[in-house]
Amino acid sequence: MSAGGIVSLVGAGPGDAGLLTVRGKELLERAEVVIYDGLVNRELLRFAPPTAEIIYGGKHDRTRCVSQAELNSLLLAKALEGKCVVRLKGGDPFVFGRGGEEAEALAAAGIPFEVVPGVSSVHSVACYAGIPLTHRDHASSVTVVTGHDAPSSPANKVDWPALARIPGTLVVLMGLRNIRAIAATLIAHGRPPETPVAITSRGTTGRQQTAVGTLDTVGELAAREGLEPPAITVIGEVVNLREQLNWFEQRPLFGRRVVVTQRSDLARPLVSALRERGAEVLEVPATRWVPHPNQAPLDKALGELASYDWILFTNPLGIEFFFERFFQVHRDLRQLGAARLGAYGPRTGRKLREWRLYPAAVAADHKTPLILDAITKCGSVNGQKFLILRGDIAYEKVPEALTKLGATVDVVPCYDVVPETEDPAGGAAALVEAGADWIIFASGLAIEHFHQRFNLPALVARFPALRLAIASPTVQWALDRLGLSAAATSLPDDPQDLVNAIVKAEASSHNFGMTYSQPLVALG
């Protein structure tokens, strides 16, 4: 075997990306190959390095089903190449996940491996449905079985008659297709027909759906509610506690699918705030930030920093690109000079402070009057020299306004912004397939790039329940160009206010529940 080859069998959890373990994240971040299950939340693939080879290894998609034998061979082949391989498995690798079989194959081949336990759907889905599997007053034991094979099937290895007599809670995984036969068998061997039953589909995600009934009604209930796998079934008195303990499905944005178009690192606070309110979040970045293809103007400015009275930064990412180039030219931060620093917006100001640089002027928003107001509060700009660092495309008129006030202004591009076309987490595919309830935009450029990729008016027409939200009133102009309007608007750079605006709009519409649907017409 080549030196360094190792396989990590990592439990990805039941669906909520936040339930991945710290160790699992560490291994993903240094993986060279990731082989993931069909039921794994694809958002977790963002933790893998951009250079990692990502391979689908699921059994739940009939168009690309991979057999267990093929998976075992693939794991061995990649490890024998000397690669660090992460086998990302739904739930826990050793709980109905065939992780034991994969570990056996690796051990037989003499390949080093590690098993990272995951949060199993056995207990986590029940938890998100508000059902404790044990309770001092209701159940002192839990029995977990697979319902993949019907009780009457020759392949069935579960002693259902014996299970009917065992007290406590019974958890059935992979049993949705056979639930009617399972319930009838349990009743026939002694379980009371009125025993409470809960089926939870797509647990721990924003599409979670729970139906509650009894053993004698559960078959009809599952069909009537249109429940789909993956699903778990909980049988026992603890199900009665759901009415009181149903915490997850009571969140104000539960059942709402929200598309976030910011870059993932910038969108983190917004994504967290949305998920805390119960939303299912699709990350579909609209733009990609790259170094400017022509570095000559920036290099010239870097050589003349001592001549500037002010350096203005337009956004946080611009700061990152500026200093990346700065330290290729200079060796010491003190060579930035004595110029005052200005920031377009609070978020840009915070980014400067992360560099231990304290801006003299921080505008409340990206509006030209607010930027000018922040600068002129520091004194007259007449005769002063400004360096403005931004991309090629900008909609504010700060350079023109400063020039009118007697300043000399150099506008230098330090980055380029291009439309994003990749979809590593599958958010774009999910949006096109089933729509969403909300799309959030943080800038006019994001709207333009998103429109180039998806045809925004056509998307809105295709999914009539889809509404738009903007992170500042200054973004509305880009929607105006497309004949669209925002149903929710927030204060600039304030994720909590934006989420509150969406919650308020939802409440005023009196239209809770899942509204995104299958495609109605083709996109133009």
- Give strand pairing partners of 70: none
Give the helix ranges, DSSP H, for 178-263.
179-188, 218-225, 242-245
DSSP 3-state of 337: coil
DSSP 3-state of 186: helix
CB distance 279 to 257 below 8 Å:
yes
> Quick one: three-class SS letters along 245-275?
HCCHHHCCCCCCEEEECCCHHHHHHHHHHHH
Active site residue 59: yes
User: What DSSP string describes 38-70?
Assistant: TTS-GGGGGGS-TTSEEEE--SS-GGG---HHH
Say how far apart CA 81 and CA 76 lie, in whole Å.
9
Say how far apart CA 42 and CA 523 lie, in whole Å.
25
DSSP 3-state of 453: helix
Cα angle for residues 90, 47, 349 (degrees, 5° grid): 140
* Displacement of CA 282 from its chain's centroid (Å): 6
Active site residue 309: no
Say how far apart CA 297 and CA 389 lie, in whole Å.
11
CB distance 419 to 499 below 8 Å:
no
Annotated active-site residue in 16, 37, 493, 494? 37
Q: What Å distances lie between residue 478 and 91, 318, 464, 472, 514, CA to CA?
A: 42, 22, 20, 12, 28
Active site residue 174: yes
Annotated active-site residue in 16, 89, 92, 174? 174
Under DSSP, the state recorded for 18 is G
CB distance 472 to 491 below 8 Å:
yes
Cα radius of gyration (the chain):
28
Say how far apart CA 451 and CA 419 lie, in whole Å.
10
Under DSSP, the state recorded for 99 is H
Residue for token pair 């910011």: 262
Annotated active-site residue in 59, 149, 309, 385? 59
- Give strand pairing partners of 8: 86, 114
Which residues are known catalytic residues?
37, 59, 174
